[in-house]
């Protein structure tokens, strides 16, 4: 005769709900502090004040501040879903794989331009001034996976020439996207203007036509 599984007691259910709510508040507070104050403003006290939660609960539920940062990273996408972004890009007018290559790389650049937290994460990678470096390391690894998946989602990286082109061009696009907000002028282009990004795309077409067509 099988025994009927015990139902959780009301007190256990309340504790579970309380914990879930506290975790959500802390993760949401982490996100708000980053949005408002940047990575430089992230810290235990700032997040606890924002969340209205005691320090003991943060350590009980997340282990430490790095654990909270990792929990936040699991809820964040540093790039949008690749397929819609790539398919929404303008047709490049190049054959097959070359056309996909241009669209995927420009979709990547436009995704960076639209996501300030992703750009700040990449800047912190160069500066290494954050108190949550360990957690940021994990975020950078996550970004790397997302970036590679983003660029390859359309079948763009086919063959060694295509891979080599992606390697150097995504690095260049990352640099241009990072400087677009604070130092937008580069070689006579204004990287804070869509029209000048169209010129970047046109240059990319010419490069791809030489390498892949």
Which residue range(s) make up the domain with 134?
Answer: 82-212
Please report whether residue 3 resides in a domain.
no
Write down which residue in 57, 75, 93 finishes a domain: 75
- Check residue 155 and give left, alpha or beta (phi > 0: left; psi -120 to 50: alpha): left
The verdict on residue 40 lying in a domain is yes
Average model confidence (pLDDT) across the chain? 80
> Percentage of residues in the chain with pLDDT exceeding 70?
76
pLDDT score of 95: 60
For residue 5, tell me if it sits in a domain.
no
The answer on pLDDT for 155 being more than 90 is no
The percentage of residues in the chain with a pLDDT greater than 90, rounded to a whole number, is 32
Q: What pLDDT shows up at residue 203?
A: 93
Give the residue from 28, 52, 75 where a domain finishes.
75
Q: How many domains does the chain have?
A: 2
User: What pLDDT shows up at residue 89?
Assistant: 45
Q: What is the pLDDT of residues 62-114, one digit of tens each?
A: 999 889 988 888 877 777 665 555 554 445 456 666 777 788 888 889 888 98
Instruction: Give the domain-ending residue among 75, 100, 125.
Output: 75
Q: Radius of gyration (Cα) for the chain, nearest Å?
A: 22
Could you tell me if 66 and 86 lie in one domain? no
In a shared domain, residues 99 and 187: yes
52 vs 162: CA distance, rounded Å: 51
What average pLDDT score do residues 43-71 get? 91
Task: Please indicate, yes or no, whether residues 107 and 175 belong to a single structural domain of this protein.
Answer: yes
Residue 42 pLDDT more than 70? yes
Q: Above 90 in pLDDT, residue 197?
A: yes
Is residue 2 included in any domain, yes or no? no
pLDDT tens column, 160-194: 777 788 889 889 999 999 999 889 999 999 999 99
How many other C-beta atoms can be found within 10 angstroms of the C-beta atom of residue 141? 11
Angle at 195 between CA 193 and CA 196, to 5 degrees: 70
């Amino acid at each position: 005769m099988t025994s009927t599984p015990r139902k959780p007691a009301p007190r256990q259910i309340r504790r579970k709900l309380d914990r879930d709510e506290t975790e959500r508040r802390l993760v949401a507070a982490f996100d708000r502090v980053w949005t408002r104050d940047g990575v430089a403003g992230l810290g235990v006290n700032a997040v606890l004040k924002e969340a209205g939660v005691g320090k003991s609960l943060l350590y009980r539920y997340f282990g430490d501040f790095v654990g909270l940062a990792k929990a936040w990273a699991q809820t964040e996408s540093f790039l949008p879903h690749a397929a819609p972004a790539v398919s929404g890009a303008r047709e490049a007018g190049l054959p097959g794989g070359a056309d996909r290559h241009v669209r995927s790389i420009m979709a990547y650049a436009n995704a960076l331009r639209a996501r300030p937290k992703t750009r700040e994460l990449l800047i912190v990678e160069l500066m290494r001034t954050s108190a949550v470096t360990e957690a940021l390391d994990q975020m950078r690894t996550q970004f790397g996976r997302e970036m590679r998946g983003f660029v390859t989602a359309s079948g763009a990286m086919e063959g060694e020439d295509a891979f080599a082109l992606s390697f150097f061009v995504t690095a260049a696009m990352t640099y241009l996207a990072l400087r677009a907000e604070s130092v937008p002028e580069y070689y006579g282009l204004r990287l804070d203007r869509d029209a000048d990004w169209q010129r970047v795309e046109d240059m990319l077409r010419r490069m791809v036509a030489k390498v892949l067509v």
